[in-house]
Chain A
Amino acid sequence: MMEHVPLNFPFLAAALLVGISFYILIFKRNLIKLIMGIGMLASGVNLFLVALGYRAGGNAPIYTDVPEGPMVLPVPQALTLTSIVINVAVLALMLTMVILIYRHTGNIDSKKSRILKG
């Protein structure tokens, strides 16, 4: 077992990003801003994952021009890439739906464009 990763700036930045994005998700009624919030949430989580991949003294696992020494296991980087790819798909789908919502209701406010309730 490796020792716990010390709390440092990347984690604080990730927490800040997640916090800001939750603020956006809760208080911003503009659907485009909501999607931006989800994008920021994704960035926060990705930053968290990438920060986990850092190990003191480890080398980046790139086989060209690598210095001598141990390499880190690139699992968190792989996770982050997968998560980024998924988020591209999710954001594209959400934006398309917002375009359609705007076409149907002429509004991108989450309260005014709502039809279904109760």
Chain B
Amino acid sequence: MIESPSGFWEPVVWIIAAIVALLIAYFIQRRGEKTYKKGVQSETFLMGNPKLSEGETHVRAHNIYWGFFEGLKKYYVPTINAHTGIINDHLVWLTAGIAIVIIILFIAGGI
């Protein structure tokens, strides 16, 4: 039981609720279509084209979320270009970071 400023979290209650929900879902599913034929309807259908080999049907990692990267090109291209992997550039960032934080702390003052 976790109490936060505006709520609480109790995993045991959540698990019981999830089990109840799953049971309900299972009962609904059992009342479903009885004419489903196992094996035949789960075959891949590629618009009548011949079946591909197993290696070819697997979607490889670089194809996943292609659209996401394409849409966010404006963000991704400069960000990836900033990750040069050159050790000198990492040290530039460190030096710049130290300088900026010192300036901020001086402006903000303190006691």
> A117-B84, A117-B85 are known contacts; what are 18 more A-B pairs with Cβ within 8 Å?
A22-B95, A25-B91, A25-B95, A26-B88, A26-B95, A27-B88, A28-B88, A29-B86, A29-B88, A34-B87, A34-B88, A110-B86, A110-B88, A114-B84, A114-B86, A115-B85, A116-B85, A118-B80
The verdict on B60 contacting chain A, using a C-beta distance below 8 Å, is: no
Q: Closest approach, in angstroms, between the C-beta of A77 and any C-beta of chain B?
A: 27
The verdict on B83 contacting chain A, using a C-beta distance below 8 Å, is: yes
Q: Hey, what's the 0/1 contact readout for A52-74 against B, CB within 8 Å counting as 1?
A: 00000000000000000000000
Q: Hey, what's the 0/1 contact readout for B62-84 against A, CB within 8 Å counting as 1?
A: 00000000000000000010011
The verdict on A111 contacting chain B, using a C-beta distance below 8 Å, is: yes
**Residue from the list A22, A111, A118 in contact with B86, Cβ < 8 A:** A111
Secondary structure call for the A interface = loop
Residues of A in contact (CB 8 Å), total: 15
Residue from B80, B84, B88, B92 with most neighbouring chain A CB atoms (10 Å): B88
Q: How far is the CA of A27 from the CA of B87 in the complex (A)?
A: 11
Binding site for B on A (CB under 8 A): 22, 25-29, 31, 34, 110-111, 114-118
Contacts of A28 in B (CB 8 A): 88
Binding site for A on B (CB under 8 A): 80, 83-88, 91-92, 95
Q: How far is the CA of A114 from the CA of B91 in the complex (A)?
A: 15
Chain B residue nearest to A29 in the complex (CB): B88
Give the top 7 A-B pairs by smallest Cβ distance, nearest first: A117-B85, A25-B91, A114-B85, A110-B87, A116-B85, A110-B86, A111-B86
Contacts of A25 in B (CB 8 A): 88, 91, 95
Chain B residue nearest to A109 in the complex (CB): B86
Q: Closest approach, in angstroms, between the C-beta of B14 and any C-beta of chain A?
A: 39
Q: Closest approach, in angstroms, between the C-beta of B76 and any C-beta of chain A?
A: 10
Q: Closest approach, in angstroms, between the C-beta of B87 and any C-beta of chain A?
A: 5
Q: How far is the CA of A73 from the CA of B91 in the complex (A)?
A: 35
Q: How far is the CA of A118 from the CA of B84 in the complex (A)?
A: 6
Q: How far is the CA of A31 from the CA of B91 in the complex (A)?
A: 13
Contacts of A115 in B (CB 8 A): 85
